[in-house]
Amino acid sequence: MSVTLFLLLVFLISLAAGLLGVLTGLGGGVVLIPALMLLLGVNIHYAMGASLIAVIVTSSAAAPTFMSQGLSNLRIGLFLETAAAAGAVGGAILLSVVPSQFIGILLGIVLLYSAYLSSRQKDDVTSERPSDPIAVRLGMEGEYPTADGVKEYRVYHVLAGTGLLGVAGVLSGLLGIGSGAVKVLAMDRIMRLPYKISTTTSNFIIGITAAASAGVYFTRGYIDPGLTMPVVLGVLAGATFGARVLLRAPSRILRLVFVIVIAVLGLQLIAKSVGIY
């Protein structure tokens, strides 16, 4: 394969990863890493290093649009990110002692779980119960625009959600992803935030989590500029377009496409890691 063709394929894969990452709130890393490994034969550590930079770019490109639309909850995001960032540093340190085969299997499991999570659609229902006292004290409650007008939402189980964000941080540092699946799970299922608030707030904080562990990857030489540059360009284009599409895109179709893609990639990655092919 020529260098030009390789760079073009990396750009196109990154474009798709950035688009899907923004639309689902799961971060482009869960698509980018296995795609680079399985389709182009990129070493897993270099793919993870490029993915971390891509996650930072995805978050930065989408955040201004979501903030201007009143979707991302900055108070919730910054509070949860304290646990996620600490976990990310710990996960990146563990990278040197965890075998690559185990990392591949674990990433495959995360992909399959992300597919399961995305396949479950929950209608946003406003509860009449008062918010968690911590959420009230920190001013985490908010409102967001919908097709039926502006709706208010409450926040529950703040400490449980924060604990799960710490786990998300460890996965981010260990696997080189934004671990948006776990973050969306924490906000959507545990803290009971509306789905769009969960995904857009996840998009906002995944970049901070990735930045916390990217320095460790850089010092170990896992960030290759030749690979990272087309990744960044592709992800930036995909994320910018995805942020504009999010509000009017049919979420059911988007979820279905995403579930199929990452489920196939997850199965292939596990099979390759255990030596089936």
What tens digit of pLDDT does each residue of 184-199 get? 878 887 898 887 888 8
Average pLDDT, the chain: 81
**Taking 70 as the threshold, does the pLDDT of residue 64 lie above it?**
yes
What average pLDDT score do residues 73-81 get? 89
Rounded to the nearest angstrom, the gap between the alpha carbon of residue 127 and the centroid of all alpha carbons in its chain is 27
CA distance 111 to 132: 31
pTM recorded for the entire structure: 0.73
* Per-residue pLDDT band at 137 (split at 50, 70, 90): very high
Give the model's pLDDT for residue 251.
Answer: 56
Q: Please count the structural domains in the chain.
A: 1
The least confident of 22-31, 69-78, 190-199 is 22-31
What pLDDT, in 10s, does the model give residues 204-238? Answer: 888 887 887 788 788 888 889 899 999 999 988 88
**Taking 90 as the threshold, does the pLDDT of residue 8 lie above it?**
yes
* Per-residue pLDDT band at 155 (split at 50, 70, 90): very high
* Domain encompassing residue 66: 3-273
Long-range contacts of 73-76 (CB under 8 A, 24+ apart): 73/140, 73/142, 73/193, 73/197, 73/201, 74/204, 75/138, 75/139, 75/140, 75/142, 76/140, 76/155, 76/187, 76/191, 76/193, 76/201
Give the model's pLDDT for residue 125.
Answer: 55
**Taking 60 as the threshold, does the pLDDT of residue 59 lie above it?**
yes
